[in-house]
Amino acid sequence: MACLALACHRPIADQGVVLHFVSWKPDQPRVWDEAVRRFEAAYPGTRVARQIGPHSSTALHDLLTQKLKNRELSIDVYFMDVIWAAEFAAAGWAAPLDSWFGRGEQAEFLPGTITSATWSGKVYGVPAFIDAGILYYRKDLLAKHGLAVPATWPELEKAARQIVDAERPATPGIVGFSGQFQQYEGLICNMLELVESNGGRLVDTRANRSVLLEPQALEAVGWVRDHVIGAAAPRSVLTYQEPESLALFLQGQAVFHRNWPYAWQVANDPNESKVAGKVGVTALPHFAAGRSVAALGGWHYGVSSSSLHPDEARDFIRFMTSAEMQKYFALEASLAPTRNALYEDADIRRKNPQFADQAAAFRQAVPRPVTPVYPAVSEALQRFFSQAISVRGSDLSALARVADAEINRYLEWAE
């Protein structure tokens, strides 16, 4: 059985290999410089040539697809968003990794990260870091008003209304909830969490058919339209992506806030946040008939199917995803590990106490539809959700019927 631990690394016989690694622009460049230095010290026969792409996931996707489509040799290893694996695999751009990343190794990683890297029975990515939707809340305001952390969406709405009514004289602009409901990829993540926490789904379990017309899905979408937009949240939330929704929370203008784990550090930085030290995190709420669901985000390492250096790519990925290096990234950059056991590591828990509350969300994170036509499916879902929640009294069944038909055409093409 192949081993991912650093102790199992062997020297590379071939000397002077240049391994081309394409990544997004990192928020912590010093941390990444050191990580690459450590790899090159462990493998003196390999030098890593890094191409730093844009910070935007969409822009990086455009850069990578152009290179991979053209079979460029200036790319061996790359960061792959969790929603790209099936697309890249079906196009023949990503090499399958099962020959050295087997089931035993996969079992050490959080389940959702492996599911999102799998297409047609093969694995095309090794999970690097995980993101998952979580609920941020004003623990000071809940304590002040004698309220428990809400477990269900209706409980959140009720608590938000009570706190806003009481606090509005002192804080006129305060609202109950802030999330990401603009028509973009983040809207799908927010709506997936609400739909699946009501027992619904966006597509069936094999991603062969759209199921937006099912009662559980329609009920959840209707609840967002009637109880979130212009109610628990302001109507302006229809224009919010992550930065805008977080800014409202940082200014002390929102009681509850849905975001990714990165927001924890910002929310508790007194230089950035008016609510530093007053913030709690927990798993997202659910409806009475469902369970808490978090949309899976994060990144995999992928290998170009045209790479001339697959062995060196393998060793680079093993090194970077080893327990030792994932611990390094967690301690130095607060990047959430994909290895399940690291959430019990004492050093990581001491440096990142928020991981204790976030671990449940990571373990139950649900991927978006895994299909090679996801970009087209995403656009159709975005249009449906945006129309459904932004228009009061919208005919949800009619909109879902149109969306189902469009998405099913894409999914049938992918079969």
Please tell me whether the overall predicted TM-score, pTM, comes out greater than 0.85 for this model. yes
Neighbouring C-alpha atoms within 13 Å toward the C-beta of 84:
25
User: How far apart, in whole angstroms, are the C-alpha atoms of residue 403 and residue 380?
Assistant: 6
Q: What is the pLDDT of residues 314-341, one digit of tens each?
A: 999 999 999 999 999 999 998 999 999 9
- Per-residue confidence at 14, pLDDT binned at 50, 70, 90? very low
* Tokens 């390492």 found at: 301
Q: What is the pLDDT of residues 97-124, one digit of tens each?
A: 999 999 999 999 999 999 999 999 999 9
Helices of type H across 251-309? 263-267
For residue 405, give the H/E element and its range.
helix 396-414
Judged against a pLDDT cut of 80, whether residue 414 lies above it is answered with: no
Q: Strands, E, within 67-152: which ranges?
A: 77-81, 118-119, 122-123, 126-132, 134-138
Contact partners, residue 162, CB within 8 Å, separation at least 6 = 145, 147
- Per-residue confidence at 360, pLDDT binned at 50, 70, 90? confident
Domains parsed from the chain with CATH numbers: 7-130+297-366 (3.40.190.10), 134-295+370-414 (3.40.190.10)
Residue type, 175: V
Residue 161: what are its φ and ψ, rounded to 5°?
-65, -40
Helix-strand-coil split of the chain, %, nearest 5: 45, 15, 35
- pLDDT score at 15: 55
- pLDDT score at 350: 95
- pLDDT score at 7: 39
User: How far apart, in whole angstroms, are the C-alpha atoms of residue 261 and residue 281?
Assistant: 9
Would you state the structure tokens that stand for residue 97, as one six-digit string? Answer: 């990794």
